[in-house]
Amino acid sequence: MAGAVVAQPQDPATAGATQQDAGRSSITVYGTAEYDPAALAPGPEVKGIISARSGQRIKVTAPDGTSSVITLTDATKVKASSGLFGSRGKQDLSALLNGLPVTVKTLQAGNALVASQVTYRNNDYKTAAMIRTGTAQQFEEQAAATEALRGRLGDIDKYNIKSTSNVYFDTGKWALSPAARADLCRVAQAAEAQENALMLVVGYTDSVGSDDYNQVLSEKRAGAVINYLQQACKWKPYRMLTPTGMAKADPLASNDTEEGKAQNRRVSINVLVSKSVDVE
């Protein structure tokens, strides 16, 4: 026999089977490892927003900015709820869209997580689907806000800044403190009362660390703030401009002192209204 095909289930991030030729070469055929749910131990419950999806894998980002990659299988149950005391209905895996807040019950498969059940709220699904398709009919009531959302804030002169609030972080961290969480919901509540208000969230760092490290850290801080605003404070995703991380740029204070560095480790939440719709 010239060769053999050997199937080797691996971590879901690199799952595949290898066809080996006894003479010279090998070919890797990528696929998804098969799991027997009955043979797996219970894993952690993961809550957050689906921030990426590739085939049978989803990345779920929690309010503190941490992410978990979870494998979906044919045995994964998907359920939608109409509310805290509402009924639940079975759905298929296609319902798991980017931007959808979910709760995932998992099983532990070595270092990998496998979803046994994914639940979400119907209202959250409608919002995620609306953002994904972006039709004029679905966004008619928020036409001006939606136009602004479709890209990164390009020209600040097109907007009136109604308020700017900051939340602060420990060195090298992006987890929100209890005080920051309370502040964010107060900001969201005040912005909700502002007609046509949008939010622009910008993350920053102090000068400690390399430029590449601080760029990633500033983006994680901005992501943690956005997740909390949307999940806990109920700020609608279609009223959020594309966030950005600015690393150590635009410091509020000197990075030569510990007090100054503490002020610079922040995320700024800017409440904006397009000048075309703003009524002073």
Does 58 map to a domain?
yes
Write out pLDDT tens, residues 187-213.
999 999 888 899 999 999 999 999 889
Could you say which of 126, 155, 190 is where a domain stops? 126
Question: What is the identity of the amino acid at 174?
Answer: W
- What is the pLDDT at residue 238? 85
Write out pLDDT tens, residues 230-278.
999 999 988 888 788 899 998 999 999 999 999 999 999 999 988 777 7
Per-position DSSP letters for 89-144, written without gaps between them = EEE-GGG--TT-EEEEEEEEETTEEEEEEEEEEHHHHHHHHHHHH--TTTTGGGHH
Question: What is the identity of the amino acid at 20?
Answer: Q
Does 134 map to a domain?
no
The first and second tokens of residue 178, run together, are 């209890």
- CB within 8 Å of 53: residues ≥ 6 apart: 59, 96, 97, 98
The first and second tokens of residue 36, run together, are 């027997």
Q: What angle do CA 240, 244, 249 make, to 5 degrees?
A: 140
- The CATH number covering residue 50 comes to 2.40.50.140
- Rounded to the nearest 5°, which phi and psi values hold at 209? 100, 170
Residues 115 and 206 in one domain: no
Write out pLDDT tens, residues 18-59.
333 434 444 343 445 567 778 889 999 999 888 888 888 899
Residues 169 and 53 in one domain: no
The model's pTM is: 0.48
Does 131 map to a domain?
no
Does 195 map to a domain?
yes
**Residues linked to residue 262 through DSSP beta bridges, in sequence order:** none
Residues 190 and 118 in one domain: no
- Contact status, residue 148 vs residue 270, Cβ threshold 8 Å: no
Residues 252 and 157 in one domain: yes
Residues 27 and 42 in one domain: no
Residues 5 and 71 in one domain: no
Count of domains observed in the chain: 3
- What is the pLDDT at residue 20? 37
| Domain range enclosing 244 | 141-274
